[in-house]
Amino acid sequence: MSPPESRLESHLTVTFRCPAELEGLLPPPIAGSRGLPEWFKTMAPLAFSELMSGETETVKRCPPFIDAMSQGFLIPLWCDVIVDRGELTWDHSLPTGRDVSFPRAPIGFHDPSQMTGVPMTDPDRFLIKFHNLWTIEAPEGYALLFTHPVNRLDLPFTTFTGMVDCDRYHDSWIHFPAYWHDMDFQGVLAKGTPIAQCFPVKRETWIARTESFSDDGAARLRDLTAEIGREKGVYRRRFRV
């Protein structure tokens, strides 16, 4: 009888690699489900609504909101960054590279002219680049979509979104440009703060199709809409995977 397949072998794997001298010193990428922020963990599932004159469910009971935050992998800032009146400083004890060189600063900067014409950017605000010291390899046929940590409006920056074919491009760094939008932020952006979230995306060709409801489809819509109106948690119980 063949031995049971291991848990690791039965799952698709995204591989994060760092220089040997940094192993154990860098905070590792983690699954989105392990990186839910403290404000989400402590928020109440119900809140009083003046408009509804009663209690209503918060997003803590919204599966799509939670599931989006819980998927993929979060990539952390690798040291504290102190923000004081627009000046960013840091101090770390990482060793220098032996076999490969790597950025010594957790944050670099982009020339604002690179975003000329992009709405909501301002040449007087930070256009930064988070340096990532992990190379990232996806399984054959998969790209990785990198974006701002999902629903993390509390962060003082917004990471730009990009997609990289990490099944092919996995032997060099991927850094994350971001727009610093909170000019009033003062304090420490702590080591481990998520700077990007990545989601594996299988390369496939999709097309969009439109059609009108059939009689059966219209009946199903009416029935499901009525059920959602009568009961709570219909999606969670019947449809959520």
Q: Answer whether residue 228 is part of any domain.
A: no
| Token representation of residue 221 | 């819509």
Q: Answer whether residue 235 is part of any domain.
A: no
pTM summary value? 0.90
Buried residues in 176-191 as b, exposed as e (16+ CB within 10 A): bbbbbeeeeeeeebeb
Q: Answer whether residue 241 is part of any domain.
A: no
State the Cα–Cα distance between residues 41 and 35, nearest whole angstrom: 10
Q: Answer whether residue 36 is part of any domain.
A: yes
| Token representation of residue 120 | 């909501």
Q: In Å, how far are 30, 46, 66, 154, 155 from 71, measured between CA atoms?
A: 10, 24, 9, 19, 19
The residue range of the domain holding 131 is 15-45+58-202
What is the per-residue pLDDT for 171? 97
| Token representation of residue 147 | 């974006």
Q: Answer whether residue 224 is part of any domain.
A: no
Q: Please tell me the total count of domains within the chain.
A: 1
At 148-197, the pLDDT tens digits run 999 999 999 999 999 999 999 999 999 999 998 898 999 999 999 999 99
Tell me what percent of the residues of the chain surpass a pLDDT of 70: 94
State the Cα–Cα distance between residues 30 and 223, nearest whole angstrom: 40
Angle in degrees, CA 76, 78, 83, rounded to 5:
100
Strand order in the sheet with 127-130: 107-109, 127-130, 176-180, 157-159
Q: Answer whether residue 234 is part of any domain.
A: no
CATH of the domain at 107: 2.70.40.10
Q: Answer whether residue 232 is part of any domain.
A: no
Given a contact cutoff of 8 angstroms between Cβ atoms, the answer to whether 158 and 181 are in contact is: yes
At 17-30, the pLDDT tens digits run 999 999 999 999 99
Neighbours of 74 (CB within 10 A): 25
What is the per-residue pLDDT for 2? 47
Q: Answer whether residue 208 is part of any domain.
A: no
